[in-house]
Structure 1
């Protein structure tokens, strides 16, 4: 089976090719792109498209690679031994299986999402090299080797907050999700709002892309923020003519809090509008 996108996710030909190439090579697919371009959602839609279960491992700044394999709860075992609990005789009762272990022992091939790998410590990717390459790991407490029954489809996302090690990159198939062009964005909007007024979409997207072109913005609005903004515009029944007459060089767009997410950018736009009116 080949991934071709879904009715809920517009995947470009390049992205479809990247997913299918990673599956063919049995390599993890490393996805980068601006926040809000659908990196995390890609794994969900690949799983849905191919009819496979999805296991999600969301990485935090405190996450360690060992947690993806398993965790040994020595404290609980000590407490149970003091209480005379018979379960202490089997160490397996105190092993908590991580997401990789769950993916390896699944009865069928799964899609494994390792989300925002760059949030963790710089050594995190290197600590997973062997496990992702050989698809096996050693459990020291039981002296077992856990091998993958079916090699999972691994999708790894990164927001590019820090550089990833070369050794890790060599083992991945890489794809950068470029920001959608106007035509692709229209298709994305149609998926979310099939009954939206064409004039509202046209004028809203003109304002949206004009806003993204403003020099000096700390955070450019993303696809997900455009979707949120359109939802608010529809809920408030904003007349498309209001957006047609909106020039971000002279005034902030209505409900701009869905698009502009920090005070520095609001101040920049207000200053731009003030200077343009004064000029």
Structure 2
């Protein structure tokens, strides 16, 4: 048995239940459009498992009930080999979608690229330690060390590692892309279309070092790069999150699928709490969620992890919702307005 799509079912179902544990080498990924096919041979070993998913998402005790729009758009992005732009307020669980896809489809460790205003395309692809390389060459020339290859001084970034030729796609989370420099979306557009990139230090050294072993974004990971060019086999599953702080170029948006995540309702918050705490909150869970939603309405929105903070205080045994004014004051402090001063209601 392979993936659900082999039988006409959605590839991603969103319930949090992983697909059957078929050996990596035997799994089949559904075909994409011919114009999104990339022909590099799949030479990379299976990616490491992702323990981070359980920390971020918890372990669901019951099947999650996803929104139909989420399931529909995630599956469309997987089949079309297109990035998914996930929008919504801070704290609604946008980045968690990448970890949910990776865990459910058993795609291994999520590669996480946090974007800032100083982020460039090159920083996501690779870093080259030119000074370290020069020092190593100088040491070898003076008899103080053995020669090392150029690849020893190349570290692929999350984006660069995601485009390595794996049999199955890697999951890449590009977090808060709306904070990026104005040129990054167009730079990404070209890369997403081509499915390959060059590492200039390795290109310059290809005559002496046609195959270079480089470091990857996975802990302890390495990969072999031929003639300085990295080509993908399975286009990665790319989840880009945005808080809606900027607009993107039309050409960029045309090649993305957009999924907006609304504020979670009481049922979704209950699933979130249960995934992290099981039934340890007992009778306090319903009251805590009700108070959280009321407070969120008062202050113009709260992040879901703020509810988890309160749940942990209760399950720790150090606090109880029955403490009256003391507990109410604690909640007022940990459920503070996200908009800073002036957001607190009168």
Residue in 2 aligned with 1:185? 269
Q: CA deviation at 1:163?
A: 2.3
SS in 1 for 2:275: helix
Q: CA deviation at 1:36?
A: 1.4
Alignment match, 1:39 = 94
- CA–CA distance in structure 2, aligned partners of residues 139 and 228 of structure 1: 44
Task: Classify 1:79/1:194 alpha carbon distance in 2 versus 1 (closer, same or farther; 3 Å).
Answer: closer
1:41 is displaced (CA, Å) by 1.6
Higher relative helix content: 1
Separation in structure 2 between the aligned mates of residue 91 and residue 206 of structure 1, nearest angstrom: 58
1:211 aligns with 2:307: no
CA distance in 2, matches of 1:69, 1:213: 42
- 2:177 matched residue in structure 1: 117
- Partner of 2:232 in structure 1? 148
Q: Is the 8 A contact 2:165 2:231 kept in 1?
A: no
Q: Is 1:77–2:164 an aligned residue pair?
A: no
Once the two structures are superposed, residues 237-260 of structure 1 have per-residue CA deviations (whole angstroms, 9 ceiling, x without a partner) of 4245949xx9xxxx9554322211
User: Which among 15, 19, 23 is matched to residue 78 of structure 2?
Assistant: 23
Alpha carbons of structure 1 residues 87 and 160: separation in structure 2 relative to 1, 3 Å: farther
Contact 1:199–1:240 (CA under 8 A) maintained in structure 2: no
Aligned length: 259
TM-score, structure 1 normalization: 0.80
Q: CA deviation at 1:86?
A: 6.0
Quote the residue 1:226 is aligned against.
307
1:196: Cα distance to partner?
A: 4.3
Q: Which residue of 1 aligns with 2:35?
A: none
Post-superposition CA distance 1:83-133 (Å, at most 9, x none): 326647x54343322223322224332111112212221222221111112
Kindly report which structure 2 residues correspond to 1:1-279, keeping only aligned pairs within 5 A, or say none. 1=3, 2-5=11-14, 6=16, 8=59, 10=64, 11-53=66-108, 54-83=110-139, 84=141, 87=147, 90-109=149-168, 110-141=170-201, 142=203, 144-197=228-281, 199-214=283-298, 217=299, 220-235=301-316, 236-239=318-321, 242=324, 254-260=330-336, 264=341, 268-269=344-345, 272=346
Name the counterpart of 1:276: none
Distance 1:255 1:71 in 2: 44
Provide structure 2 residue ranges, at least 5 long, that are not aligned to the other structure. 4-10, 18-58, 204-226
DSSP-derived class of the 1:260 partner: coil
**Is contact 1:61-1:121 (8 Å) kept?**
yes
Over the aligned positions, Cα root-mean-square deviation in angstroms equals: 2.8
Following the alignment from structure 2 to structure 1, what is the Cα–Cα distance between the partners of residues 278 and 129? 50
Q: 1:107 to 1:200 in 2, by over 3 A?
A: same
Residue aligned with 1:114, SS: strand
Alpha-carbon deviation of 1:171?
A: 1.2
Distance in 1 between residues matched to 2:282 and 2:134, nearest whole Å: 66
Residue 277 of structure 1: aligned partner = none
Counterpart-to-counterpart distance in 1, 2:74 and 2:342:
35
Secondary structure in structure 2 of the residue aligned to 1:30: strand
Aligned partner of residue 264 in structure 1, secondary structure: coil
Contact 1:55 1:112 in 2 (8 A): yes
Unaligned runs of 5+ in 1: 273-279
How far the C-alpha of 1:199 sits from its partner, in A, is 4.3
Superposed displacement of residue 137, structure 1: 1.5
Determine if contact 2:281/2:314 at 8 Å carries over to the other structure. Answer: no
Question: How far did 1:225 drift?
Answer: 0.8
